[in-house]
Structure 1
């Protein structure tokens, strides 16, 4: 069962103005389901004395743990590996995950797993320049023109 919080009239009015309430009966310009966690986090005002953070979070349907969460980021080893991947990938954009793993392990003597390199490739949004499977198959949606 969800807790319901009473908001003082003056506090509610100022909060609604800050949150961008419209006069057409909708509380937000976007519904809460469409907002990202970052957008909801930006709506919370910790300096607002009349409504505490633990009361604002349920109003925005945001768990308190999401409000206080700070991401760890990548550790120094992963940053070093990402730097080396970036340097090599600019030279050889056709290197795939397994070939890059062999290069990193051989060149720098690290015992890096393929799964780590694959995750870092995805994090860096890298994609190799090679043919993907099924590119030479005929597409039925497009007509074949012959002369």
Structure 2
């Protein structure tokens, strides 16, 4: 292992579950300050966590709600808070209304934004388009984030990762895992314009594979609906029925459900086939 690339690239190379090398050893070999390895979570108090848990429940049910309606729903539940606080908590959670809107989103100014390539395009084949998204997961004493890489046509989840921070590194790990575990790559990779997906760490991985990069803009705003359905399903069918106290507990529950979703859950849109049988990669999905 050599000290190569800039600091962000070296940080992305660190594997939290490496079979032989500890995180401390990897940091030393790569010249990375361990104290700066993982960004700190935004500070949240107990009341904020309760509000965020309620927000997640409302948003999972109604992802098209904006700040005003979310605040009204929270008021109905007894949380008397203002729109600024709702906006702040939504930012921590990484959520926004899934509706068509003016060009008011604010991706990271330092990152390059790529054009939207899917306008009026029918996705008819596996590996034609992959996509990725992140969702917020409430925890008893904090929160975590789940990212998934999905094949657009088959709806198969090709890889996923859990992290207690919404950094770029865990998204890049999921991307690398999808490429390695399937032995394939898409023609186009579509995401939103979030800082994780517009970062050089993420886009450089795709460029290296010769994958065209597409980012949602004013195009088909409904493109993200099916992955929102994935989030709704895993939360209602698994996470809200089981208790979990650590990221490790959460990771085990996600692994169980993803196995069920890919290999046993039949989809009407796939003529009642499963996502994995439709995708049929040469290797098994990496958990």
TM-score range, shorter chain: 0.3 to 0.5
TM-score by length of 2: 0.26
Q: What TM-score do you get using the length of structure 1 for normalisation?
A: 0.45
Which of these two proteins has the greater Rg computed from alpha carbons?
Answer: 1
Which structure is higher in RCO with an 8 Å CA cutoff and minimum separation 6? 2
